[in-house]
């Protein structure tokens, strides 16, 4: 079974702090994704990566950056957290083979006060 692990289930940070959300997958997947999930808005793609050291902007990249130094790890960085970044963050991975489904982690509930 694919396992996608997000390092924190719950985080509380203050406005202006730099925040790191970590995600690790154990299936040697090429593709990794970061989404945020908000009520009524569904899942929105922030950033994704198809390979090590490679990143692409999703639909809502503003205020975020990412890092993929190793194939199994994809980090989401909030350079200066703001209250409108309070959300559920979901990491996902998929194989690079054709139409491969996404496998999600359990999510990180981030609150910015």
Q: Name the site residues for another protein (rule: CB under 8 A).
A: 4, 6, 9, 31, 40-45, 48, 50, 58-59, 90, 94, 98-99, 101-107, 109
- What are residue 90's DSSP bridge partners? 35
Residue among 41 and 70 whose Cβ is closer to another protein = 41
> Hey, what are 24's tokens?
């690790």
The DSSP output letter for 95 is -
Helices in the chain by DSSP H: which ranges?
none
Please identify, using beta-carbon distances, which residue of 53 and 80 lies nearer to another protein: 53
The CB-of-16 to another protein minimum distance in angstroms stands at 27
Residue 98: CB minimum distance to another protein, A = 6
Closest distance to another protein from the beta carbon of 9 (Å): 8
Cβ proximity to another protein, 18 vs 53, nearer residue: 53
**CA–CA gap between residue 108 and residue 6 (Å, rounded):** 7
Measured from the Cβ of residue 11, the count of other Cβ atoms closer than 10 Å reads 16
């Amino acid at each position: 079974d694919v396992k996608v692990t997000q390092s924190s289930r719950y985080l509380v940070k203050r406005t202006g702090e730099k925040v790191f959300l970590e995600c690790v997958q154990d299936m040697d997947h090429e593709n990794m994704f970061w989404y945020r999930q908000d009520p009524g808005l569904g899942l929105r793609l922030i950033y994704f990566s198809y390979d090590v050291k490679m990143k692409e902007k999703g639909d809502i990249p503003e205020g975020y950056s990412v890092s993929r130094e190793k194939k199994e790890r994809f980090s989401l960085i909030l350079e200066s957290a703001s209250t409108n970044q309070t959300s559920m963050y979901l990491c996902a991975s998929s194989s690079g083979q054709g139409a491969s489904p996404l496998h999600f982690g359990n999510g990180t509930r981030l609150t910015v006060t």
